A and B are shown apart, each in its own frame.
Chain A
Amino acid sequence: DIQLTQSPSFLSASVGDRVTITCRASQGISSSLAWYQQKPGKAPNLLIYAASTLQSGVPSRFSGSGSGTEFTLTVSSLQPEDFATYYCQQRKSYPITFGQGTRLEIK
């Protein structure tokens, strides 16, 4: 199975900050990676797919990059509604796997 390791697991930041979350894969997955945002009590929401393609309707302050084994999700200027948990997910091979999550909280 392909393991995805996110860092950090917990991040405290302020409105307006630029933050970056990293997702490392245990083996190369080319660009077969997505990022999801989940708020408490809600289903996940697709933000970015194919490592760097922004899903329709997602604000442009979100961006993704990377390929192979290292990927990043960047939020250029945090807004109050961005405080949530973020997960990466690979679809290169079965079983599909998710990272353990990064919880982003308000400082």
Chain B
Amino acid sequence: EVQLVESGGGLVQPGGSLRLSCAASGFICSDHHMDWVRQAPGKGLEWVARIRRRANSDSTEYVAAVKGRFTISRDDSSNSLYLQMNSLISDDTAVYYCARVSPALDYYLDNWGQGTLVTVSS
């Protein structure tokens, strides 16, 4: 069974840093593109970042709002995905979901974690 479990969320002051983790099981992370998607309280979904599968050289993409502040990465030994978030601002307050991108399903997000809440506030 495919499972994604996020952790690492919490309260952080503006300008601070946080590292989110997403533990994957039931599949090999490096065989798939992986995404982070966030949802501000009471708002819609916003795609944040993607790391492509190893066969595509682990290349990355970011939404403009986080480019230069966030870094997506993957650790193959632990089958985990990460999101390093620096220089956090209040607009980054959201539930952050990791999601698997399925090549079998035309590269759409077929499995999601339960999310982890990040609150940026003084």
Contacts and interface: CB of A to CB of B under 8 A. Distances in A.
Given A44-B112, A98-B45, A98-B46, A91 B63 contact: no
Contacts of B105: 46, 49, 53, 55
Interface in A80-102: 87, 89, 91, 94-101
A75 interface: no
A95 B47 contact: yes
Interface in B105-122: 105-110, 112-115
A34 interface: yes
A96 B50 contact: yes
Given A98-B44, A99-B44, A46 B61 contact: no
A38 B44 CA distance: 10
Where chain B touches its partner, the secondary structure class is strand
B72 to A, nearest CB: 13
Closest 6 CB pairs of A and B: A43-B112, A96-B47, A49-B108, A98-B45, A95-B63, A34-B108
A98 B97 CA distance: 14
Interface of B: 35, 37, 44-47, 50, 61-64, 97, 99, 105-110, 112-115
A50 interface: yes
A45 B97 CA distance: 12
A19 to B, nearest CB: 19
Contacts of B113: 43
A98 B108 contact: no
B102 to A, nearest CB: 9
A87 B106 contact: no
A43 B106 contact: no
